[in-house]
Chains A and B, each alone.
Chain A
Amino acid sequence: MPETTPSAGRPLLEVRGLRKTFNPEGSLAHVALDGVDLAMRAGEYACIVGSNGAGKTTLFNAIAGSVIPDAGLIRIGGENVTFLPDYKRARKVSRVFQDPLKGTAPNLTVAENVSLAYGRSKRGSALKMAMRKEKRAFIAEALATLGFGLEDRMDVKVGSLSGGQRQAVTLLMATIGHPYLLLLDEHTAALDPHATERVLELTDRVATSPDIATLMITHDLEDALTHGTRTIVMHEGRIVADVSGEERAHMQVGDLLELFRTTAGTTLADDKVLLKA
């Protein structure tokens, strides 16, 4: 597989006419993606909001390769990956999930987890020791940048860390291999407010890197407007609104709700949605 570097001007992520129906045969047929078009450039950082079941997670699954779409095209870094298995595109796309347990291996140490993520950008070392001195030093340095004090707990099993610490490790793992795309699926939803704030602050730091495009699904409408450069609204498998620049800069949570109502033709139905006063 030739390494393709994204040519200037071409988006890092290109999604065209993406469709996915679950259980197409049965009475349970459900259209999860109904023609999604989306382009993300390097350095862009977009928040996605939408009702429950709008297809946000399915969109991420299709981009990451854990769901193969019925129709459509997905290009990452200029390469057509529509049918590439998930583990083969994992070097280009990183994901962080809501559940802190999902992104890390609990019985491996912090350093071993980070090493796995780091190793994926370096091939041809299958039988080298995983924990070489220079690699440990590199990992310690990377952990120190998180500001969670994890560089002193490198040899602790990840299973003994708190949710916020685990998400911080997961974020580091997601970005240490320099992917084109970072997909965050409600990655702070399971954390307490203090941990949420710290992880979001860390997210903003990694997502503003100029070589990466970031998509973040959130239930917090305030966060959806204040984090990143763009806000995308999904409804019933489609992108119904996409705001950025001046328009977004002046937007309040109320305006976003109103935008949702006019574009989706209904009110935002999300039992988790957060409306900070």
Chain B
Amino acid sequence: MTPQIFFDAIMLGFEYSLLAMGVYITFRVLDLADLTVDGSFGFGMACSGVLTMAGQPYLGLIAGIAAGAAAGCVTGLLITKAKINPLLAGIVTMTGLYSVNIYVMGAPNVSLLNAVRCYDPLYQALGGDAGLLSVDGVKMAFIIAIVALAVAINAAFLHTETGLAMRAAGDNEEMSRASSINTNAMKVAGLALGNALTGLTGAILAQYQGFADLGSGTGMVIVGLASVIIGEVFGGWRSVTWGLCCAVAGSVVYRLIIQLALALNLLDANALKLVSAIIVAAFMAVPAVRQTFKDRKLRRDARSAMERLLAEDAAALAGATGEED
């Protein structure tokens, strides 16, 4: 176990924290379980891969955001205009994107190891190999800056009139419509925002890991959910700004947990998806389990109260028959 693997895990956590924020927005703010995520992640990665190969890493990041937003809009329109069940709408978009992503990339995977990537100009500007920061250091600084910017922008947006309307649409749709909020437009916009963050994650990841791979979107929903939920377990429910920060922290903690389990040989790499699925299922079950225990205690208390009354009855009856004798 070297410090390097923990450094890598933390960096990976920050990379995926954009995805976690996206899932936070669709899942917690809009109250929608959005399965577009797997597809929009791959879409962002594909766009970024192709543009980075062409020598345009920054355009690649912007294209990743746009691609994700477009995918979110499609799902949003399927939900609001075609009235398709949200889960199904997400699956429809995600499935369609599989083919789209192949067309965009032209191959199942492309290597970007020889291309200029988004952090390279910064690395060179800081002195390159002779500079103060290693490539990893620059990568870490770059991703933290992007994440901080994303948290700030999203937190600010969710406190604007439109952002407030979006939160209201997810919290009480009927009341929102009564406050002249076009809740359908809010859902489309929120799905676009959430998936834009997911697309950006894919775009960044392609450049950071040095390749774009069509298979890597699989299971991203669960990764995002796990991060959001871990964040909530530690951070609780407070404001949306806090929620976004917790999603970021959750993503980092999630990667550290997995890295630790791998390092201790508790886990082999093939088990990652299973472990993620179990984390999500277990944490999401917590409120229900807690309620069950509460109900049980209530019932136990009610039963003992009833038994006291029965005992009184029995005593009274015994007393009455005693007098008759």
How many residues of A sit at the interface, in one of the four size bands? 20 to 34
Please name 5 pairs of A and B residues whose Cβ atoms are closer than 8 Å in the assembled complex, sorted by A. A86-B178, A87-B178, A87-B181, A90-B177, A119-B165
The answer, among A105, A119, A130, for a CB contact under 8 Å with B175, is A105
Chain B minimum-CB-distance residue to A96 = B178
Contact B175 A87 (CB under 8 A): no
- Asked whether A106 and B172 contact (CB < 8 A) given A94-B178, A117-B179, A120-B179, the answer is yes
A66 partner residues in chain B, CB cutoff 8 A: 177
Expressed in whole angstroms, the Cα–Cα distance for A186 and B178 within the complex equals 17
Contact A103 B175 (CB under 8 A): yes
Q: Is B171 an interface residue (CB 8 A)?
A: yes
- Asked whether A116 and B174 contact (CB < 8 A) given A127-B160, A129-B159, the answer is no
The answer, among A64, A87, A94, A130, for a CB contact under 8 Å with B161, is A130
A56-111: which have CB < 8 Å to B? 64, 66, 86-88, 90-91, 94-95, 102-108
- The 8 lowest CB-CB distance pairs between A and B, nearest first, are A105-B171, A90-B180, A105-B172, A130-B164, A120-B180, A87-B177, A126-B162, A116-B179
A86 partner residues in chain B, CB cutoff 8 A: 177-178
Expressed in whole angstroms, the Cα–Cα distance for A120 and B179 within the complex equals 6
User: For A104, A112, A130, A173, which residue has the most chain B Cβ atoms within 10 angstroms?
Assistant: A130
Expressed in whole angstroms, the Cα–Cα distance for A86 and B183 within the complex equals 11
User: For A106, A116, A129, which residue has the most chain B Cβ atoms within 10 angstroms?
Assistant: A116
Chain B minimum-CB-distance residue to A117 = B179
Q: Is A175 an interface residue (CB 8 A)?
A: no
- How many residue-residue contacts, CB under 8 A, span A and B? 80
User: For B163, B172, B174, which residue has the most chain A Cβ atoms within 10 angstroms?
Assistant: B172
> A114-152 toward B: CB 8 Å interface, digit per residue (1/0)?
011101100001111111000000000000000000000
A119 partner residues in chain B, CB cutoff 8 A: 161, 164-165, 179
B contact set with A: CB distance below 8 Å: 156-157, 159-165, 167-168, 171-172, 174-183
Contact B159 A91 (CB under 8 A): no
A127 partner residues in chain B, CB cutoff 8 A: 157, 160-162
User: For B176, B178, B179, B183, which residue has the most chain A Cβ atoms within 10 angstroms?
Assistant: B178
A105 CB to nearest chain B CB (Å): 4
Expressed in whole angstroms, the Cα–Cα distance for A87 and B162 within the complex equals 15
Expressed in whole angstroms, the Cα–Cα distance for A225 and B34 within the complex equals 51
Chain A minimum-CB-distance residue to B172 = A105
A117 partner residues in chain B, CB cutoff 8 A: 179
A105 partner residues in chain B, CB cutoff 8 A: 167-168, 171-172, 175-176
Contact B160 A128 (CB under 8 A): yes
Contact A104 B178 (CB under 8 A): no
- Asked whether A102 and B167 contact (CB < 8 A) given A90-B179, A128-B160, the answer is no
B312 CB to nearest chain A CB (Å): 31
Expressed in whole angstroms, the Cα–Cα distance for A104 and B168 within the complex equals 9
Contact B179 A130 (CB under 8 A): no
Expressed in whole angstroms, the Cα–Cα distance for A36 and B174 within the complex equals 25
Contact B160 A129 (CB under 8 A): yes
B175 partner residues in chain A, CB cutoff 8 A: 102-105
B57 CB to nearest chain A CB (Å): 29
- Asked whether A107 and B171 contact (CB < 8 A) given A86-B177, A86-B178, A95-B178, the answer is yes
Chain B minimum-CB-distance residue to A121 = B180
- Asked whether A108 and B171 contact (CB < 8 A) given A87-B181, A87-B182, A88-B180, the answer is yes
